[in-house]
Structure 1
Amino acid sequence: MKVCTDATLFGAMAPVKGGERVLDIGAGTGLLALIAAQLGAAEVTAVELDEAACREAAENFKDSPWGDRLRAVPQAVQDYARTTVDRFDLIISNPPFFENHSKAFSFHRNRARHTDELSFGDLIEAVDGLLADGGILYLLLPLHAVAGFTDQSREVGLCLMRQRDIRGYAHNPPKVAALTFARTAGPPEMDLLTIYRAKGIYSPESEAYLSEFLLRFGGRS
């Protein structure tokens, strides 16, 4: 299983509480779902439209120490939301957000990177129906999309509670943000995470998050 450090960091920061039911929307090959299980989620459902990626996620789940708490669902989240009675304490997603960029050549890369199958409106509508009372939505977006997504989320009563901007180095501007939404109004908490303090060297904060997950730190991933 190919692991992206940035995605691992996003997952490692997820506000997972022990015993929670977690949904991963657009799960790909299951990285975020696996992290949620490792962080103590009681049950993790990974919904992924692409059948090949979903099969790989299912294999990764079976090979993990948390296989009994993980399941992969080969379905569009819009359809899943219409047919399931399940509700989730935490919904996590690293959704496609390249809608303003040229299409990728590969069909599978195109599905992973563009919003043709899942618009922000579709995602918000699905989350609204799938989130349990008191539940949280946690997702990664580019900064240019945060304002629009936040406005749309507010229409269904989901308010931005925390925005953590993420940059590669201290001299770089942040390009993405880890966002936490809930049905609770109030001013959002804002902060900034720098991934690296030098080339190939993680910042102390990043290292603290990643140490449980990356082999170079002795993690279990």
Structure 2
Amino acid sequence: MSFFHFQQFSVRQAQTAMKVCTDATLFGAMTPVAGGERALDIGTGTGLLALILAQSGVASVVGVELDPAAAEEADFNFRQSPWRERLTALRVDVRDYAAKAKERFDLVVCNPPFFQNHSKSSDAARQQARHDDNLPRQDLLAAVDRLLTSEGLFHLLLPTHAVDSFLDLAGGRGLYLQCCTDIRGYRRNRPKVAALVFARQPGLVARRTLTIYGEEGGYSPASEHYLSPLLLRFASQTGKENHG
């Protein structure tokens, strides 16, 4: 059975089309948590982002997932984690959830289907996970608008080529870009994905580029800063810091 082991939790990913990857892990690790927030993970998949948020100190996380196999896997991962009392996996379309939910969230995160009008995988589950046919971005934004508190933040991971068009759609929903972090593998690479933060009030936009790997191999200092509380390779280092 396929597992990805982190320092404080493990992710079973045998039934889920999209596996744990560096971009998604880094995106979750970059999401700032003050502590005590109510969070929503749209398209939770294995539950990776929800688990990272729970480790970071949110009070509760609801992970919604349309695919039944992925929802079952997220539920399993939540129940096996140290934060099972704070994590809920729901097999539901976020549009239906938003129409009925009474709760609003301080933090909404989403690593959505990446490809729009691109060539499609022959694997049906992987296709659903990677394409936005089942959740058009207008519908995603409508759900976020309904579920986010007035002071809440919406964190989104997108391919860089999709950012500009998404910003236009978001502005129409009263969601304004607060921060954009372009993520690239090495300094010689062009960024392929961007981590975006939206708020309900417009303001100055912080922009930066984060490089995952150092030129000599291994993680860069910036990515190590975010990933060191999570990845097993940094476990001894984290232990020394906690007991130093």
- TM-score bracket for this pair, using the shorter chain length: over 0.9
Cα shift at 1:199: 6.2
Q: 1:196 to 1:60 in 2, by over 3 A?
A: same
When normalised by structure 2's length, the TM-score is: 0.88
CA distance in 2, matches of 1:52, 1:199: 40
Count matched residues: 220
- 137, 146, 151: which is aligned to 1:120? 137
1:104 is aligned to 2:93:
no
1:31-86 alpha-carbon deviations (Å, 9 max, x no partner) = 00000000000000000000100100000001000110000010010110011111
Relative to 1, partners in 2 of residues 1:199 and 1:58: Cα closer, same or farther, differing over 3 Å?
farther
1:217 corresponds to which residue? 234
Q: Which residue of 1 aligns with 2:105?
A: 88
How many angstroms does 1:192 deviate by? 0.6
**Cα pair distance change 1:156/1:105, threshold 3 Å:** same
**Counterpart residue number, 2:171:** 154
Is 2:157 aligned against 1:140? Answer: yes
After TM superposition, give the deviation of residue 16 of structure 1 in Å.
2.1
Residue equivalent to 2:38: 21
Tell me the alpha carbon deviations over residues 134-189 of structure 1, each in whole angstroms, 9 at most, x when there is no partner. 00000100111111111111111110000000000000011110000001111211
The aligned amino acid for 1:128 is D
Aligned pairs for 1:1-221 within 5 A: 1-2=3-4, 3-198=20-215, 200-218=217-235
Q: Aligned with 2:214: secondary structure? A: strand
Deviation for aligned residue 1:119: 0.8
State the AA in 2 paired with 1:30. Answer: G
SS of the equivalent of 2:178 reads strand
CA distance in 1, matches of 2:143, 2:123: 27
Distance 2:54 2:149 in 1: 19
- List runs of 5+ in structure 2 lacking aligned partners: 5-19, 240-244
Indicate the SS of the match to 1:198: coil
CA distance in 2, matches of 1:55, 1:106: 19
Q: Distance in 2 between matches of 1:127 and 1:20?
A: 16
For 1:89-129, what per-residue CA distance to the aligned partner results, in whole angstroms no more than 9, with x for missing partners?
A: 00000000211321111111011001111011000000000
What's the Cα RMSD here? 1.2
Residue ranges of structure 1 left out of the alignment (5+ in a row):
none
